[in-house]
Structure 1
Amino acid sequence: MNTPLAERLRPKKLSDYIGQDHLVGDNGLISKIVAQQSLPSLIFWESPGIGKTTLAQIIANEINRPFYKLSAINSGVKDIRAVIEKAKQSQGMFSQNSPILFIDEIHRFSKSQQDSLLEAVEKAWITLIGATTENPSFEVISALLSRCQIYTLKSFGKNELKTLLDKALSEDEVLKTLDIQIKENQALFRLSGGDARKLLNILELVISQQNPKHKIIIDDKSVYKIVQEKPLKYDKSGEQHYDIISAFIKSIRGSDPNAGVYWLARMLEGGEDIKFIARRLIILASEDIGLANPTALVIANNTFQAINIIGMPEARIILSQCVIYLVASPKSNSAYMAINKAQDLVKQTGDLDVPLSLRNAPTKLMKDLDYGKAYPYAHDYDGNFAYHNFMPDEISSESLYQTSNNPKEKHFKDFLKRRWKDKYEF
């Protein structure tokens, strides 16, 4: 049988779907949609291999809607329009029965391609279900985003992976005819990274390397050995790239130029989307270099703009230059840590009142209520600074920003201490 194990095990009903209890459980949002037979346009967001495509197909089956599927990798505006015309013809004027158009990797569509969907979604000629591994806030145009609900899917945990593994051995028509014993599953789970499809691909690979006439023993040692000898192909469609991008980011954070350029080359040779790489460099420039070298963010952002203009193969040179620059930059995560602390503080303390002195006073009534009173306008004071409490009184003593030990932030530290005296004790 040539059909891959992952495809053979693809569930056909919502009750067979593993994981995503927040969506498909008894009180899940998708379960309610299916029960009500009322489907809005959706975008599924999360890592690959956790069932976005499968869930879309199941929804179409459960509510008995026509289902059209496009991949953003090899489809254009012409393909979109052709599907929309088919959908309009099959639907007529009854929007509640609009066919489902599923677009895999919708983040790869250009603005013009996404624009071509707007009228069809707005007039309910189709119900759109998009799938993306990228943050839709960055990758989907706002006009389309406003017409869709965003559902975040979660990577599989050990329990879901174990359930899937048991299901494969007990229900698959091929595997259940074999004598298979799984003595250890840690390697299977670790190498899968929470990706159900990757788990099944590894399982199938390991089984294929053993004699089906004998008992097949699967343990961690054999799994690691076989996967190292016959590694799963780096998926240039972006399906299984998270281990590589993790190594890439950690190498730059660790200031190793050889490793940074090596992992960059691995991604480029695997056909990785250069915009995906450049976006990660922008994030790293702020998260891991930050205030130690603020120019790093400018360089990374310019890199993103440049590779969009130039394209491959020359974009590889621009990416390499940026990687080496970021590798050689001093590192600081102080901005990253500060916003984390601030958000945690907001969650703990809730909506604290803005101090009266900091409030806007556009009306006479607000001025009479002392809005903005006693606010010291910094530019009226020596050094453009006036000592004042800019935080809610309840948390005025909280310290969120802590300088890192690098030359640039030493200047920040000195600047703040000259003004705030004991308030900022780093």
Structure 2
Amino acid sequence: MEDLFDSDSEQAGYRPLADRMRPCSLEEFRGQVKIVGEGTPLRQAIESDRLHSMIFWGPPGTGKTTLASMLATHSGAEFIKLSAVLSGVKEIRAAVDRAKQLRQVGKSALLFIDEVHRFNKSQQDAFLPHVEDGTIVFIGATTENPSFELNNALLSRARVYVLQALDKESLVEVLQRALEDEERGLGGRKLHIEPEQVELIAEAADGDARSALNLLEIAADLCDGDVIDSHTVAELVAGRVRRFDKGGEAFYDQISALHKSVRGSSPDGALYWFCRMIDGGCDPLYIARRVVRMASEDIGNADPRALRIALDAWEVQERLGSPEGELAIAQAIIYMAAAAKSNAAYLAYKAAMREAKDLGSLEVPLHLRNAPTKLMKELDYGKEYRYAHDEPDAYAAGESYLPEELDGSRYYFPVDRGLEQKIAEKLAWLRSKDKQAD
């Protein structure tokens, strides 16, 4: 096995618990039954020694590097590891040259690229011919959505496997194994820790096995004697934030879940995702801005108060900060989730914008033009304009307010909910007067 970037700590002989406890076999591997369980395509490929290029996509600490290493070991391939953070063209060429040397003597190479999404397009393209001709088996690991971060050419040559965050039960198993393993883990120290404290560490790790083992190692180093007590664990997990990548996949998934919960009239779902984002470190002002969007897009004139409430919450956050501002945003979210829904204003805006863009610069009808000068009046600007307040019911029945080419077009169709039900009745009544005038 070859790592082109051995750390100083590894050269000095120190290996963190998380590294020492890397699974050595699929039987030790936890939390990814969907991709390496019995009968899965990847498991069958491993057992039949038919490796192919692949992308491992998942949160940190889910076993991407470990799985790649095990694949190399099982197939007898040399494991060449690069980090996209530290590597460049020079390192890529060196790795490919090494793979070519191995191929000449009848051996294979598995090239693993950690954080492959950090390579630019030209760097990603550099692998393609060598993947194509079988010089290397390519495995890339990423925490970002491959659809957005990787070239289509690379994606077409590699199968994507999605790794999930480990559940609490799997993390507890990982921690217990570390506590009992005398060769690689902490078993030789005969540490005592209550099951409740192990579960607390697993919960704090939030699906990340590396984080769980790091916490356990710190707790073991801090404990007095051979007992890891509740006070030590409580100190360690205090202030831990949940998995949340600002600007990354988790970020957009969670704001999407919040928006769709409001649209779906679920105050509980909306409130949960709001709290998840705040707990993960999201800027409350970003959420406040999105809440204003929800008020117009999904509620609109069915309940115009929603927009004002959203703006008020934004203002409270700006003026008072946390926690008062966050409570105001939560109040606005709950109100909007429970409010009558309408996307009529949103659809009307999009329809009108589409025609404004597609139909060019249609002329303003003469009767709607302003006539501040004598010349404009002589050119009939404003002629025959009917002042609505002088008309019965303050409505100029039969008057047109669109360009001639669009006369009769409609964009706004109120729904039969909330205030828009009344608006729909009003507009229907006005259209009946237009027909009478015609």
TM-score range, shorter chain: 0.5 to 0.7
**Equivalent position of 2:82 in the other structure:** 70
Whether 1:181 aligns to 2:181 is no
Query: Which of 237, 242, 248 is residue 244 of structure 2 equivalent to?
Result: 242
Q: What is the DSSP-based 3-state SS (H/G/I as helix, E as strand, rest coil) of the residue aligned with 1:216?
A: coil
Residue 69 of structure 1 aligns with an amino acid whose one-letter code is K
**Equivalent position of 2:215 in the other structure:** 202
Residue 217 of structure 1 aligns with an amino acid whose one-letter code is I
Q: Give unmatched runs, 5+ long, in structure 2.
A: 1-12, 259-269, 298-325, 344-404, 429-438
Q: What is the DSSP-based 3-state SS (H/G/I as helix, E as strand, rest coil) of the residue aligned with 1:12?
A: coil
**Equivalent position of 2:60 in the other structure:** 48
**Distance in 1 of aligned mates of 2:149 and 2:108:** 25
Kept after mapping to 2: 8 A contact 1:289/1:333: no
Residue 383 of structure 1 aligns with an amino acid whose one-letter code is S
CA 1:2–1:287 in 2, change beyond 3 Å: closer, same or farther? same
1:122-150: CA deviations, max 9, x gaps?
22221110000011001001111111100
Whether 1:4 aligns to 2:16 is yes
CA 1:121–1:33 in 2, change beyond 3 Å: closer, same or farther? same
Whether 1:101 aligns to 2:92 is no
Whether 1:120 aligns to 2:130 is yes
Query: 1:413 Cα deviation (Å)?
Result: 11
Query: Which of 34, 37, 40 is residue 22 of structure 1 equivalent to?
Result: 34
Whether 1:216 aligns to 2:242 is no
Query: 1:415 Cα deviation (Å)?
Result: 8.1
**Distance in 2 of aligned mates of 1:104 and 1:26:** 26
Residue 23 of structure 1 aligns with an amino acid whose one-letter code is I
Matched ranges for 1:365-384 at <5 A: 382-384=408-410
Q: What TM-score, normalized by structure 1, do the two folds share? A: 0.57
Q: What TM-score, normalized by structure 2, do the two folds share? A: 0.56
Q: What is the DSSP-based 3-state SS (H/G/I as helix, E as strand, rest coil) of the residue aligned with 2:51?
A: coil
Kept after mapping to 1: 8 A contact 2:222/2:232: no
Q: Give unmatched runs, 5+ long, in structure 1.
A: 235-239, 266-280, 295-326, 340-378, 388-400, 420-426
CA 1:65–1:381 in 2, change beyond 3 Å: closer, same or farther? farther
**Equivalent position of 1:275 in the other structure:** none
**Distance in 1 of aligned mates of 2:72 and 2:203:** 33
Kept after mapping to 2: 8 A contact 1:22/1:29: no
1:206-233: CA deviations, max 9, x gaps?
1111133xx31343x43121344xx88x
Query: 1:87 Cα deviation (Å)?
Result: 0.9
| Percent identical residues | 35
Query: Which of 157, 162, 168 is residue 147 of structure 1 equivalent to?
Result: 157
Q: What is the DSSP-based 3-state SS (H/G/I as helix, E as strand, rest coil) of the residue aligned with 1:16?
A: coil
Kept after mapping to 1: 8 A contact 2:56/2:139: yes
Residue 181 of structure 1 aligns with an amino acid whose one-letter code is H
CA 1:24–1:285 in 2, change beyond 3 Å: closer, same or farther? farther
Kept after mapping to 2: 8 A contact 1:40/1:148: yes
**Equivalent position of 2:206 in the other structure:** 193
Kept after mapping to 1: 8 A contact 2:219/2:228: no
Query: Which of 51, 54, 61 is residue 73 of structure 2 equivalent to?
Result: 61
**Distance in 1 of aligned mates of 2:412 and 2:178:** 68
CA 1:77–1:160 in 2, change beyond 3 Å: closer, same or farther? same
CA 1:210–1:79 in 2, change beyond 3 Å: closer, same or farther? same
**Equivalent position of 2:377 in the other structure:** none
**Distance in 2 of aligned mates of 1:117 and 1:40:** 14
Kept after mapping to 2: 8 A contact 1:23/1:31: yes
**Distance in 2 of aligned mates of 1:412 and 1:78:** 67
**Equivalent position of 1:365 in the other structure:** none
1:172-228: CA deviations, max 9, x gaps?
43521223222213321221001001001001111111133xx31343x43121344
CA 1:23–1:263 in 2, change beyond 3 Å: closer, same or farther? closer
**Distance in 1 of aligned mates of 2:40 and 2:288:** 38
Residue 182 of structure 1 aligns with an amino acid whose one-letter code is I
Residue 178 of structure 1 aligns with an amino acid whose one-letter code is R
Q: What is the DSSP-based 3-state SS (H/G/I as helix, E as strand, rest coil) of the residue aligned with 1:382?
A: coil
Kept after mapping to 2: 8 A contact 1:206/1:227: no
1:14-39: CA deviations, max 9, x gaps?
22222211222221222211122111
**Distance in 2 of aligned mates of 1:207 and 1:333:** 46
Report which of the two structures shows the higher radius of gyration computed on alpha carbons: 2
**Equivalent position of 1:376 in the other structure:** none
CA 1:333–1:89 in 2, change beyond 3 Å: closer, same or farther? farther
Kept after mapping to 1: 8 A contact 2:55/2:142: yes
Kept after mapping to 2: 8 A contact 1:290/1:333: no
CA 1:27–1:123 in 2, change beyond 3 Å: closer, same or farther? same
CA 1:26–1:41 in 2, change beyond 3 Å: closer, same or farther? same
CA 1:287–1:98 in 2, change beyond 3 Å: closer, same or farther? farther
Kept after mapping to 2: 8 A contact 1:20/1:154: yes
**Distance in 2 of aligned mates of 1:381 and 1:32:** 66
Kept after mapping to 1: 8 A contact 2:205/2:211: yes
Kept after mapping to 2: 8 A contact 1:72/1:108: yes
CA 1:226–1:286 in 2, change beyond 3 Å: closer, same or farther? closer
**Distance in 2 of aligned mates of 1:202 and 1:51:** 17
**Distance in 2 of aligned mates of 1:107 and 1:120:** 19
Kept after mapping to 2: 8 A contact 1:71/1:105: yes
RMSD of aligned residue pairs (Cα, Å): 4.6
Query: Which of 31, 41, 44 is residue 43 of structure 2 equivalent to?
Result: 31
